[in-house]
Structure 1
Amino acid sequence: MRRGLVLAVLGLSLSGCGLHPLYSGGSAGTVAITLTQVDVAPIEGKAGWLMANALRDRLHTDTTPRYRLEIKLDDKIIGLGVRRDDSISRERRTLRARYQLVDLSNGAVLLDAAAGSDAGVDVVNSEYATIAAENTALERLSAIVADQIVARIATYVQRTSPEAH
């Protein structure tokens, strides 16, 4: 009985805090529908191809787009650890994305932001293994940054859409 009372009080206190579910309404909700209306502009390079695919997997664009997502990537690999023979033993791969959400009806930039992440890569004696590890890191980073971008767009839509409140 006492536990139920505590849960009820906590539930009532949370209802007034201003938190709202981001994807309220499920696939028929404003945020989910808006995300299906975002087209990803072509992005240069291998990192761009991976990023565009990761974003398309998350956005599920299936209608005539109302928005375009334009992205410029900065992909860097920096040597961190050095062995006694002055060869690199560890690298850091960094992927940064500067992106804009553009309204196709009037060309207005609705959202201008950045996202990024980094990963460590061990450099081993096998050049093939090192290249494979660098590629795997790029794939992981593309997925992480794509998640950040989609979450930021969803938050923007939820915050600015009167139907989402």
Structure 2
Amino acid sequence: MLKPLVLVPLSLALAACGLQPMYAGGSNAAVAQGLAAVEVPPVPGRSGWLMRNALQERLGAAGDASTRYRLDVRLDESLEALGILNDDTISRERRILRARYQLIDTTTGEIMLDATSGADAGIDVVSSEYATIAAEQTALENLAEEVADRIVTQVSLALREAAQAE
């Protein structure tokens, strides 16, 4: 019986902390409309193609809107040897994908967001070269998805701040 009495003050404190749903209003919300208005220019390379597709999937989820923002993305990727055996063969690799991105308001030319994000994944190097290459490619695909999620979160926050300032 004591638990409901404890939960009431806690719920009132949480309500007073200022947390608000970012996508309140669904596809008509300012953030959702802002995300739909972001254009992603082509990014060079296979990792760029993967990143651009992942970003377009996430940004276009709110529907179509006229382009107001441009998201410029530059990628840096690497594959490093982590584990080296006594016979100088590599037993483990780390694939790293880093992105530097800028959200630009195309109507004013203002840079609304200038940030970086990245992720890395470990890969076991096995005796089959095909399996190792497939693992490296899968890791790159997964990293592009993960970094795209992080970028869209930061872009959403920047768009929410801009909408609140207006």
RMSD: 1.5
For residue 111 of structure 1, report the CA deviation from its aligned partner: 0.6
- Name whichever of 39-48 and 105-114 sits farther off: 105-114
Alignment correspondent of 1:21: 21
Task: Give the whole-Å Cα distance in 2 for the aligned partners of 1:159 and 1:107.
Answer: 17
Helix, strand or coil for the counterpart of 1:84? Answer: coil
Count of equivalent residues: 164
Contact 2:37 2:69 in 1 (8 A): yes
Gaps of 5+ in 1: none
State whether structure 2 residue 69 is matched by structure 1 residue 67.
Answer: yes
Alignment correspondent of 2:114: 112
Summarize deviations over 1:26-79 as a string: whole Å, max 9, x none.
221111111000011110000000000000110116222100100000010000
Could you state the TM-score of these two structures normalised by the residue count of structure 2?
0.93
Alignment correspondent of 1:145: 147
Task: Give the whole-Å Cα distance in 2 for the aligned partners of 1:56 and 1:138.
Answer: 17
Alignment correspondent of 1:52: 52
Alignment correspondent of 2:85: 83
Task: Give the whole-Å Cα distance in 2 for the aligned partners of 1:143 and 1:57.
Answer: 10
Alignment correspondent of 1:160: 162
Helix, strand or coil for the counterpart of 1:161? Answer: helix
Summarize deviations over 1:93-124 as a string: whole Å, max 9, x none.
00000000011112221110000000001111
Could you state the TM-score of these two structures normalised by the residue count of structure 1?
0.94
| Structure 1 counterpart of 2:56, one-letter code | R
Contact 2:33 2:65 in 1 (8 A): no
State whether structure 2 residue 136 is matched by structure 1 residue 134.
Answer: yes
Task: Give the whole-Å Cα distance in 2 for the aligned partners of 1:81 and 1:162.
Answer: 49
Contact 1:72 1:98 in 2 (8 A): yes
